[in-house]
Each structure stands twice: as structure tokens, then as C-alpha cells.
Structure 1
């Protein structure tokens, strides 16, 4: 970088332009502003470690520094390995939608060279996205508030697609991602067989665009559900007929509009009167309706076919959904009236009477009607193609991977999760630690979780989310799909490579099978030990066992067990329940004297626990074998006053013991009295006989 050549005037102008960059609301103007900043600072988009430090050093004001602090914290996550995890790898991303840009950010932080192409010249989607809590946290960590101060200030968490694209685009550009508009993918160009150094390229439009010379190792398809790479089959999920209508109205941000309450989602079964009244008064019959107030007034609803026919939105009824919703069968003016009247009724006619439709990129009112009777998902999330010795890792994200079901509000959240999973696959592939087949198998294993994911069944610690699936999915199993199951996803002109990989995988699998057996045995041992300890420590309430590791950190369970069998070795009742370290050290010391060597110091175990669970279970197994089969010590004390040293008995037990001892003493005294009387009588009789 040539920061030392930047004059003060250029640096000051770059800082002024950065203010414009932060506030800009146009795809083209954002790109132009960023290009001008790079020219002034004499830098150009490159890998993270080359570009970001130079930009950060040159732009210094409170807004910039706030952004840098957030991006620095993100980049410091271990998974990125200091921006070197994917050093030397090049990634081409198709589509600058939310998922394409989110993938670009992660791939850039991993250290790859990232290029994004977008066929459109502007972001024109008005629709509004519902966002899950982890998406909010994720965007906050990327500095969304710096670029969009109104983020999630309403009663419902949402953001317009266009605004989300602006935010992610700005973050990506600040990290060094290269973005090109007006460029579309036509196909892939394999490496030149005559050039051993040649890599994969893209066939694009326009043909003479510089991106046509870019050689890449990975390509990510983020250009929607209709644009899928070759080799990715799609599966269809069909339900009953469902027709959705989306409508966007201009938000003039007037006082009247500000008072209109949003609708997070009203369904017929939960508010039948509302929908019945709407049907009776307007002829509009809906299954549900949602209203979000963002850059536009956004409505989405599910309409019943009979009401669309009755209102002349549909000219004719057809059994085939595609024919039913074909453009020639839709009365656009009637559709606009239908959407407007539904919106007005749903908001109790609080919207302005002269409210106007927002316009889409075709210059038409932004009202759409579509069928979501069928939902599509890709059968696989990735594949690898190898030609002339060069591998190309291919992945899908967003709607092309898993089409969202809009009533659940899952589109953005599952889209982001898919982006993280795809970039984690890139990291695993770049590391070379696994064979390509193993990388594919691991990615497909995680993909199996995506369709079932909800905001409730993700990991609860949102702040700890990283690219690693284990931080996000509580039940992730990276070995659910095996390499042998994904052989068809590795397309190579050298079939013998697959056999070589399979042999290597097979040898690893034997070790993995042995590990699985060991884990099963360990789990069985853990279960048996838990049951045994619970049974034998039943009379010691402070020594409750709920976890094989953490429950023992108080030191009480081991001390209680020793006291149960060998009370002469320690005084349980004198233990301080709060002195975890002292209790652990005492137990370990006593057990060491009995021949069981400690595996960790008492203080360390009490404060930090033990990472090697298997080692700890082995230690407890030794304790179990030491006492197993022995008879617990039986306390036999005649004097009730001595019971204080006998063990952790309850007050009731001590009272009962005292009562029993008192009764026994009374019986003994009575028997002694009776014996004395009998003896006296016997003596008197003997003396009387003698006198006679």
C-alpha cells in the first residue's frame, strides 16, 4: 500500500467522502464513492489483510472508529485465523442480494480474495424481511447502526431488503470485497488444458468485462431460486393451494402514518371475526395478513382463490396453478384494488386516503401475486468439479438453496445460516485437513439441519455464534452423511482420484468407528457411575449429583462418599460448603492415601473443572471400584448426645434416635428395679426358711 504518498488534502477529502459513503442510499453512488476513496488513498480492493488496515489507518473520526472497533472484534474470532484461514483462495459470488453479500463478508474475513457480480445496476426490492434475534445480533456486530440508525427501532423486528443490501454492501466494501454491477454469469470456463497454471473462469456478460479474466477456486450461487448451477437437482414440497400477494405503498413518514400500528401476523384461526368482517364488507377473503412499516408500508397476505375470482382479480379458474396465475389470467387493476382495500381494512382505515403504491424496477406499482403451493429446495448444498487438475468448489446460498416459507419469517435467518455454513466449508477445504469428499460430506450433514431450524431451536448464546456450526446448532452432527454417500458430488476427469480418497476415508473410518465404540462405552460408564453415586449419596442432600463433572466441583460428593464408607478418615460435618477448593483437595488427598492418584489439583478442579471428561470418568471409575461391594459404615451410638459426630443426619432422624435411646434406658432401669425386687424377695424367703 502507498499510504505514505497520500497528502493531507487527499486524506481529508477521503474522510469527507466516507461520510457520504455512510449515508448514501444508491447502489451506484455507493460504489462510486468507494472507488473515489480508494483512489484518494491509493489503495484498491484486495484481500482483508492488505486492504482493511490501510483503509482503517487513513479514515479517522468517531463514526469510522466505531465501525473499525466492531469489525476488529469480528475479525479477531479464532475461526478466521487472523485473516489467513483461506489465504491464497479466490471466490466468485454470483448475486449481491443479502445472502451473496453476507457470504462475501465471511469469505473476506477468512482471507480469500472475493469478487461479487450483480446483474442489476440498482437495488430495487421494496419487500420487508422479518428477522430473528440472532440476525439482529449479527448485524449489530457488523455496525448496522452506523449505516442505518433506525434499525429495529419499531415494535417488530424487520428491515427492508434494499436497506439490508446497502448495509451489507458498505461493510463488504470496507473489508476489501470487489463488487461489480451490470455483470451476469453465462457459464463456467474450465482450465485450459494447454496451460498447467490456468484456473477456472466465468463466461459473463458483457464478455469484455475485466471479471472474465478472474480465476477462482470457489463459486457461490446467491442469485435466487431460478438460477441454479448445473449438477444441483431440486426437490419439491407440495401443499394445498396457497396464493400470496405482496404490496408496497409509499411511506411519506407523516404523523398520521406514524400512528398506524404494525401487524406482526394475523391468521384466520386466531381472529376469525376480523377476517369474516373483512369478507362480508369487502369480498376479500384471506388466510392471514402481515403489515410492516419500513421504507415502505409493506403488506403480505394469503388470499383465497374464490375471493380473487369474485373480485375479478383472476379472469378464469384453472386447476393448474401455473395457468391460474399466468400474467394473462390476472387483472392488474383489480389486483391493485384488492391489495389496497385489504391494507386499508387491516389498518382500520388509518392510512392516508391518498396513499400511493411504491414502484418496482419495471416502473409499475409494486404489487405481486405468486404461488407458494410448492416450495423448492436443492437436493445438495455443494459439489466439487475437477478438470485438468484444478478443483472448483461450488455452493448455493439463499433461496437457491432453500426457498423460504414467508409466513414463518425464516428467509433471512436461514439464508444467513446457509452463508455461514458455506464459508465454513470453504475454510475446511482450504485447510487441507480433510479430503474433498469428507468436506462435502460434512457440509451435507449440516445442510440436513437447515430446513428444521427455527429461532427457538438454535443455540441460545447468540453472542458466541461463529462460522463453526457447533456454535449455532445444538444438535449438529458433522458425520451424519458419510463420504461414500456423496461420491456423485465430486465430478472429476480423473476417476481414480475418487478411489484413492475412498481408501483414505475408509482407513480413517476404522479409527472413527473405534472412537464411536469408545464414546458409547464412555457414555454407558458415565450413566452407570451417575446412578451408583446418586444411590449411595442419597442421605447426603448437599452432595446432589446432576452432572458427572460440574457436580463434583464442590468437593462434597467425594467427601460424602468417603465418609459413608470410612468416616474415620474425614469429618464430613465440619466441611465448609462454600470452600470448594478445600473440599476437593481433602477428598483427593484421602483417596490418594487409599491408592487412587489424582488427575488434577483440587484448586484447579474447583475453579475451572476438567476439560478431559474421559479422564475424569476414569478417575471416578477407580473410586467406584474402590468402594464397590463394601459395606457402608454403620453408626451404633448408645448415647444420644454423641450423634453429632455420626454423620449428616436430619433433625428428625436425630430426634427419633434420641427418643429410641431414652426408651431403651427406661426399659433397662425398669428391668433392673424388677430384678432387684425379685432378688430381695428371694433372700427374704431363704432367710425365713433358715430361721424355721
Structure 2
């Protein structure tokens, strides 16, 4: 039932010919070499899985670039000794949750990190997020440049200092238990250590589309990194990759059963909204019972979250100039005219929404997206407004900003899968709060709660003058449609935003 063809390059989609009277010819794909028999095959479904470069037309991607994120990866030889087997892996240690560890690392070695992960397989694999100043002080980066490409260029990196930096970090983080730290060799015969920038992440705006031409329909969808590019140090890519593949299989099944294209796309895009939020805590734990049916994986599934009326733009029927090869369609404006009024910025709409959700709470007066949040009360109020069972708001003190902020951040991450983009100290500081980071962070709460109603008592108890919540069928921040945002100096944190 499966054929694998090597040395074949996908070039594009070929639409059915206009003349369908004598021969019914459907959609095909163009591949290289042209003599390959795949060029003659007709298809009903095409699935793109070629990574972030995605070559299938019709899928617009959104990019997010946060503050500089410098990754260091290192592979050490694993000789599979008893001593090595006893060393515990590090699934992820982050500065925000274990500041003492990173302070001790810096004091002992001068290595200053935001996070570190260690996995043991054929090699001892370490990946860490290093602070630029630390790399400069340790002589890894020779000169400071504003341009990231120049900063991390080969000529500006001392390779020997980089090896020493990675070895010190690995040795300290494993409590000096690895008996030897000899680097594994890469395919160039060099020590397998790398330094690079991974500030930028991508995601597709939509998961699928339908093309119809001359009586033939073609379902086109994406999986893997083509759909949602993961923040790879956190190890979520493979899990979410499998989830997306199963979601796509369910869609193909529905397609084969004759589900109407609009209904099919609405269901698929509803599931796509769930994907960025998936964590081990909010998917069904009985993995052995997973099937292609999404209900076996997602406990709180709402397949009608997106309506058929919202996905009409994902069905393409237009002409392409007669070339026969599908070209990239003209991009559709992602926002209705009402939301594209130039006199109102998207951030002001988010601010207005936050003000309405927190109005009437003691000590909370949201006038901006930065300093108004430093006491932590506004964040806790936002959570309490919809989930009063998670935060005892009446017990909070305004002068305990860091305590309040830590509570809000931890609850948001644990219960909603919304990871922090800054440290408690940064968010509690009048000067350390980054507006862009806050916009990205708070937009997740809007996406999560914009279609939800708070418990009936909450409006009366905390905001007698609260207006009706703002509901939009399109997002306030379409540019946030990425799986991961590397933002603030806390580059280990991923920002799970919606694909709309």
C-alpha cells in the first residue's frame, strides 16, 4: 500500500485540463525527473512534509522574531559504560524555575545560561541557550555586533573557546558524573559542537485547503515542520508532529467519505487551533487507545470552533493564466474590514479587552501593556475572571509583586499551557517589561478566553460595571500565528499562539 521513491523532487501541482469530454483527467503533481512515472499519476490528496521550506503553494506562513536567542549544541561520545548509564538526563532546566542552579553554574565556571537540556542516546547530547555577554566574556564570540549573522559568523567565533564552554556546561550540569567528555565527530570529522541563532520561528496560517478545477477537487494539507515549526530544545516537535499527522489522517478519512469541503476544512482548522497548546497534561493519557479519531487524543475537543463560513477563502477555484501549473494565489486579507481600520492598532484592541476583563478588581488599573502588570495583580485578575478556582485573588497583596507574578505565570503555564516569555523579575520591573513580549503573551489569553464566558458570579463580585466581552471571529494578532516565539532573554520559553 506504500511506495517510496528516492531521487525524486517535487516541483508543483498540475491542475486538470479544461477539456474533460474525452478523458477525465484529475489533479497531478509535477516531479523531477520528468520521465518519472509519478508525473502521470492522478491524486485526490497531497500532503506537504518538506519542513520549514514548504514548497506547496497556498499556505502563507507567519514569522516571529523575538530577542536574540543563541543556541549551543554539543554531542559527546557515549561509550555505554556503567558510570555513564547512571547519569540522569536533564529534560529541561530553565532559569526562571531554578535560578540557584544557574547562578552556581555562573559562579563556578563563568558560563551563563538560560536553559539546558541533556539527552542520552548514541551520544550524550546537550543543548543550551547561552547569554551573549557570557559568550563574549568567555572569548567564544570575539566581537560584539548588532547584526546576528555577523555576530555568529565563523570568523567571529573562537572554536576552541566554544568547545571549552560546552564542556564546562555539560560537566557542571551533570554534577561531574560523566567519566569523560570527548566530543563525538560530525560528518566533517570535526567535534560536533555548534553555535547558531534560532530566534525566528514559523507556522502556517492554515492547515489545509481545497483546490477545485474543471470538476476535480484536490485536498492539500501540511504536517510536521511545514505546519508548525517547533522550538526544538523543548522536545515537542516529534509529539506534535504525530498529533498533526493523525489529525490529517482523520481529515483524509472524512474526505474519502464525502464530507463537504467547507465542513471538512472547518473541522481541520478547529483541530489546528488545539495543536499549539498541547502538552502532556492536556491530552488524553491513554496513549494506547489513540486512533485517527481526534476525540481519542483531545479531551476538550470542539470540532465546531471554526465555522464553515470562516474557511471559504481556503477553497481555490480561480484561473491561473493557463499555464497548467498552480501558482501561488493572491493573499487574502486575514482581517475583515472592521478590524483593519487604520485608526486602531491591534495592541490597543488587546488593551481594551484586558481592561474589560480586569475592571473592578482591587488594585488593578490596566492603562497599558507594560507597567500596569508589574504588581502581578492584573495577570492574576485575568486568570481569576475566568477561572476563580485557580487563584485566590482576595489573598493577594499589592506590594508582593513578585509573589503575585510568579503565581500568575505558574498557573497560566500549568493550567493553560501558556509559557512565560520573561522572568518574574523582568515582568515585575517597571523598566524591564518588553511591550512586544507582553503583547505576544497576553494575546494568548485573548485567544483562549475570547469565546468563553466567565462564571456568572465573577462579574458581580469583582466588576459591577464590566461590559460585555469583546468577541471577534478573527484574531487581534494574526502575526502571532506561530507555534513558538523565542522572546526575551528567556529563550527556552515557547509562546504557543493560535494559527489564526
CA distance in 1, matches of 2:13, 2:158: 41
Tell me if the contact between 2:183 and 2:192 (Cα under 8 Å) persists in the aligned partners.
no
Relative to the length of structure 2, the TM-score reads: 0.58
Q: In structure 1, which of residues 393, 418, 424 is the aligned counterpart of residue 250 of structure 2?
A: 424
Match of 2:291 in 1: 466
Q: In structure 2, which of residues 177, 180, 187 is the aligned counterpart of residue 350 of structure 1?
A: 177
Tell me if the contact between 1:257 and 1:351 (Cα under 8 Å) persists in the aligned partners.
yes
Match of 2:219 in 1: 393
Q: Could you give the per-residue CA deviations for residues 571-590 of structure 1, whole angstroms, max 9, x where no partner exists? A: xxxxxxxxxxxxxxxxxxxx
Alpha-carbon spacing, 1:205–1:333, altered in 2? closer, same or farther (3 Å) = farther
CA distance in 1, matches of 2:193, 2:6: 26
Tell me how far 1:329 sits from its aligned partner.
Answer: 4.2
Alignment of 1:5-16 (within 5 A): none
Alpha-carbon spacing, 1:274–1:218, altered in 2? closer, same or farther (3 Å) = same
Q: In structure 1, which of residues 388, 411, 420 is the aligned counterpart of residue 237 of structure 2?
A: 411
- Whether 1:453 aligns to 2:287 is no
Match of 2:110 in 1: 283
Tell me how far 1:402 sits from its aligned partner.
Answer: 1.2
Match of 1:168 in 2: none
CA distance in 2, matches of 1:204, 1:363: 34
Question: Greater RCO between the two (CA within 8 Å, min separation 6)?
Answer: 2
Gaps in structure 2 of 5+ consecutive residues: 321-500
CA distance in 2, matches of 1:208, 1:368: 40
CA distance in 2, matches of 1:327, 1:437: 50
Tell me if the contact between 1:441 and 1:486 (Cα under 8 Å) persists in the aligned partners.
yes
Tell me how far 1:238 sits from its aligned partner.
Answer: 4.2
Tell me if the contact between 2:186 and 2:192 (Cα under 8 Å) persists in the aligned partners.
yes
Tell me if the contact between 1:423 and 1:467 (Cα under 8 Å) persists in the aligned partners.
yes
CA distance in 1, matches of 2:265, 2:8: 29
CA distance in 1, matches of 2:74, 2:39: 38
Match of 2:303 in 1: 478
Higher Rg of the two aligned structures: 1
Alpha-carbon spacing, 1:366–1:467, altered in 2? closer, same or farther (3 Å) = same
SS at match of 1:466: coil
CA distance in 1, matches of 2:136, 2:316: 49
Match of 2:75 in 1: 248
Q: In structure 1, which of residues 426, 429, 435 is the aligned counterpart of residue 260 of structure 2?
A: 435
Alpha-carbon spacing, 1:343–1:211, altered in 2? closer, same or farther (3 Å) = farther
Tell me if the contact between 1:395 and 1:422 (Cα under 8 Å) persists in the aligned partners.
yes
Alpha-carbon spacing, 1:391–1:460, altered in 2? closer, same or farther (3 Å) = same
Tell me how far 1:421 sits from its aligned partner.
Answer: 0.7
SS at match of 2:52: coil
Tell me if the contact between 2:94 and 2:114 (Cα under 8 Å) persists in the aligned partners.
yes
Tell me how far 1:491 sits from its aligned partner.
Answer: 0.9
Tell me how far 1:271 sits from its aligned partner.
Answer: 3.6
Tell me how far 1:323 sits from its aligned partner.
Answer: 4.5
CA distance in 2, matches of 1:459, 1:261: 27
Alpha-carbon spacing, 1:431–1:322, altered in 2? closer, same or farther (3 Å) = farther
Alpha-carbon spacing, 1:482–1:346, altered in 2? closer, same or farther (3 Å) = same
Tell me if the contact between 1:268 and 1:288 (Cα under 8 Å) persists in the aligned partners.
yes
Tell me if the contact between 1:247 and 1:339 (Cα under 8 Å) persists in the aligned partners.
yes
Match of 1:520 in 2: none
Match of 1:317 in 2: 144
Tell me if the contact between 1:428 and 1:439 (Cα under 8 Å) persists in the aligned partners.
yes
Alpha-carbon spacing, 1:417–1:225, altered in 2? closer, same or farther (3 Å) = same
Tell me how far 1:206 sits from its aligned partner.
Answer: 3.7
Q: Could you give the per-residue CA deviations for residues 320-369 of structure 1, whole angstroms, max 9, x where no partner exists? A: 44543455544444333322332222223333436232424x55543333
Alpha-carbon spacing, 1:207–1:405, altered in 2? closer, same or farther (3 Å) = same
CA distance in 2, matches of 1:470, 1:222: 24
Tell me how far 1:412 sits from its aligned partner.
Answer: 1.4
Match of 2:228 in 1: 402
- Whether 1:334 aligns to 2:161 is yes
- Whether 1:259 aligns to 2:86 is yes
CA distance in 1, matches of 2:168, 2:175: 10
CA distance in 2, matches of 1:348, 1:366: 22
Q: In structure 2, which of residues 197, 207, 221 is the aligned counterpart of residue 381 of structure 1?
A: 207
Task: Compute the RMSD of aligned alpha carbons.
Answer: 2.6
Q: Could you give the per-residue CA deviations for residues 593-631 of structure 1, whole angstroms, max 9, x where no partner exists? A: xxxxxxxxxxxxxxxxxxxxxxxxxxxxxxxxxxxxxxx
Alignment of 1:501-580 (within 5 A): none
Tell me how far 1:183 sits from its aligned partner.
Answer: 2.7
CA distance in 2, matches of 1:316, 1:273: 29
Alpha-carbon spacing, 1:323–1:474, altered in 2? closer, same or farther (3 Å) = farther
Moved more, 186-195 or 285-294: 186-195
Alpha-carbon spacing, 1:193–1:325, altered in 2? closer, same or farther (3 Å) = farther
Size of the aligned set, in residue pairs, is: 318
Tell me if the contact between 1:388 and 1:493 (Cα under 8 Å) persists in the aligned partners.
no
CA distance in 2, matches of 1:223, 1:364: 28
SS at match of 1:456: coil
CA distance in 2, matches of 1:442, 1:372: 32
Match of 1:487 in 2: 312
